[in-house]
Structure 1
Amino acid sequence: MQVEITEILLRDLTVTSTYMVAFILGAIAAGLLRRSKKIVSSITGLSVYLLTFAVYTFTSSLPFLYDMGMYSTLSDLIGNGTWIVGIIFFVFAMEMDQAVFEERKPKMTAFSIIYTILSLIVSILVGIGYLVFIGLSIAIVYVTQAYLERILELETTKANFPQVWFILGFILSGFANFIVAIDYSGVFFVIKNLTVLVGVLMLYFSWWHIPSSDDLNWLFDLNRLLVVDAEASLPMVDFTFRQVDLPNGGDEKAPDSILVAGAMSGINNLIGEILADRSGLDEIQHGSRTIMFHRRDDFTCILIVERSIPEMKYRMEKFALEFEKRYRAELADYQGNIDPFKNTDNLVREVFS
């Protein structure tokens, strides 16, 4: 009697955990999709991966939970096929998202497709069903590692991104399905479901710290950097990050000069208050550009950008500290002569790269 009750409870726990994992995976996938701003990105890739993984987790458990007879094979085919498609799309999305400065060549996507076709043929002939997932696991590890290297180029991401959680999340959620290979029983199904759930939650938590592809493209949003004297607000350093030809025959620097003149003269009272205030406003919106400020005792850095992200603020603060350190004597004796600061371009390129 006690054995029967235990078996019933174990079966109920297996059914409940299976449905719960599938539901949570679907809910997380939907939440990530709402966050995504592009059709193909790392976020949509993970969303599709989790959604198809939910289908796989559910359908692969059905033959164990219910007596499906001849439909058990169909259930496995649907689950495996859906997850394979999700993995390939994830690999493709990750490759597209990290190819910011170079030509987009989805090499691992091509490998995944070719490997899947060949391994499925071998699996049918030999009967090794899990062969396809070995190669796809390698593809996931490869693109994920490459993506991590890419996003960790951002100093703010390097400081805040929970890399251990991210890697453990992928390992636990991806390889948990092999747990039932040890023992095809209710206990191991419950362990598998709980492991998947823990891994996915770790993955979901860490993914919120990943920058968008637009943030990875932050260098293209830099426009101009000025260092002005704290007393007279006269420019000591003026560095233009890019100069692009305009339809009217001018260049990028022309509207920037107008922008600076408007910021430094046209709204002179506001700028004066900003430069005098050492604890308040640190950026303003002027037209389509954002003007960011960082104040030091002897000077103020002004960074003009297309849009403001934390990485830019970090780099500007880092530049200010290095500038103050290298030119401490020159700043102390500054009387309006900017010649000592002519080699600042090298420092700008060193920090903003």
Structure 2
Amino acid sequence: MKYQDYITVSSLKEALEQLEKYGKDAVIVAGATDLAVKARSKDWYESKYLVDISRIQELQGIRKEHGKIMVGAMTTIYELLHSELIRKGAGLLYQACGNIAGPQIRNQATIGGNLANSCLAADTIPALCVLEATICIVGSSGTREIPVEELLKFCPPCVRHEEMSVGGCFYGIPAGKKNTLEPDEIITQVVIPVMSTDYRYSFQKVGRKKSGCMSRFTLAVAMKLSKDQKIEDVRLSIGAALADIRLQKEVTESLKGHKPDSELFHACMAQLGEKIRSQVRKVDDNIEYKAAVCERLGTRTLSELAFRTAFVE
């Protein structure tokens, strides 16, 4: 793999200085699990300066503050899976992390990298959307905080890549096209509101293999029933199927206030299936398959959550 220089920094201040120095030619490296993959088919990084932030202590760790879980951007998937705070307070993310690749990748891949890489098949993003998590970002113009669902840009060509029908990513530098990060910005932490125990939740993944593979479809959903067993709230997000990842509010809004019903769930997911067909028909040859999976898996998952008499993680 060709690149201009590989620079290791030990502080956030130093990292920002390197980004300012090299501008659009600087590329942040976290766990680096996707770096060689993207460089395999094209010399994306031949003119780039790779800035390794893995040694920055202030970007690591998991803690709880004021009812929210603060996750440093350099926290690995392995660390998330071994955190009681995540398992108990953000169980949906815990489930999603359990579906990511194998031990080697989990030991290196970071939550910040999973977000900044902005792959439509990233397993953590739908879960974080449902958890209504936010991302803290720092750059030369200061700091800002955005909802996770505002990170990814609408990118139809990315659907074709995530389907693996082409040999390499269309956008090896995510900030150049796929997300709303500026070239001089770094994700510092993810803020996750602790999910109420009133919610039932589930993360589902469909891939070519049982484990260790890229997702072809993911579903994250959380549901809350009222005392009279009506649907009080439902949040749903899907990955690897649409041209972005966000909460599907226009679909789930029709469920609120109703008694759980399989036909109602099917109608809801059929609406989402049609959205998949209409949005990405021209770029994804397997669109009918994904729409069908969305309808059937979504209906089944919603039904299982609604009719479960007791929910235990």
Give the TM-score band, short-chain normalised.
Answer: under 0.3
Q: TM-score, normalised by structure 2?
A: 0.27
Larger radius of gyration: 1
Decide which structure has greater strand share: 2
Q: Which has the higher contact order (CA 8 A, sep 6+)?
A: 2
Q: TM-score, normalised by structure 1?
A: 0.24
